Amino acid sequence: MRVVTLLLIATLLGFSANEAKAQTTLNPAALTEARKIVEVLGAIKTFEQSFNGSVSDILARMNPGKEAEARKVAEDILLPELKSLLPVIAEEYAKLYAQVFSADELRAMGEFYATPVGKRIAEKSPVYAQQSMALSQGVAMGQLQAILMKNAEKVRARGLKI
């Protein structure tokens, strides 16, 4: 579980940066609108909430009997460094939006998020994203061992270890 969580954090940190760097030319108008969307959706707040608990939990699990000290180290040392990356992450998210959507589409999204329903969605998005990730992770992790055991022979037949 610890490895899976570490991989998830690494993926979250690396995915948007790598994808955004693959694109060399971005429409400046789309990027401007995308930055607004990232802000209004609270994408960075969601990301920060997800790693706040995860980093502390991972370090605590890696240090049985020293959980309190591990959480303190995470809070005092690791999390501040991660938080310093938030502006970089926000910019990478904006680049990703600018790659996927046109400036006009992003502008329309911004107009939608200015409506009462849009504001409500933006307000609840961080909570929803965090809870939906935990839900899907919980379901998947809860079934992973059974799935692996059920398919162990098929995996081994392909020359892989399980």
Residue 162 lies in a domain: no
- DSSP, collapsed to helix, strand or coil, labels residue 158 as coil
Residue 99 buriedness (CB in 10 A; 0-12 / 13-18 / 19+): middle
Task: Find where tokens 């948007």 sit.
Answer: 16
How is residue 70 annotated by DSSP?
H
For every residue of 84-119, which 3-state class applies, written as one string?
HCHHHHHHHHHHHHHHHCCHHHHHHHHHHHCCHHHH
Contacts of 39 (CB under 8 A, 6+ apart): 90
Q: What is the pLDDT of residues 39-91, one digit of tens each?
A: 988 878 777 877 777 888 888 889 999 999 999 998 999 899 888 989 999 99
Residue 71 lies in a domain: yes
pTM confidence score: 0.63
- DSSP, collapsed to helix, strand or coil, labels residue 65 as coil
Backbone angle region of 26, left / alpha / beta, with phi > 0 → left and psi within -120 to 50 → alpha: beta
Report, in angstroms and rounded to the nearest whole number, the Rg of the chain calculated over CA atoms.
19
Q: Token digits for 156?
A: 């081994």
Nearest of 52, 44, 45 to residue 16 by alpha carbon: 44
Q: Give pLDDT, residue 9.
A: 52
Q: What is the pLDDT of residues 89-120, one digit of tens each?
A: 999 999 999 999 999 999 999 999 999 999 99
Residue 67 lies in a domain: yes
Q: Give pLDDT, residue 36.
A: 95
Q: Give pLDDT, residue 5.
A: 45
Least confident of 5-19, 42-56, 86-100, 128-142: 5-19
Q: Which domain covers residue 145, as residue numbers?
A: 2-157
Domains in the chain: how many in total? 1
Q: Token digits for 47?
A: 């990301």
The single-letter code of the amino acid at 110 is G
Q: Is the pLDDT of residue 34 over 90?
A: yes
Task: Quote the CA–CA distance of 78 and 56 in Å, as a whole number.
Answer: 9
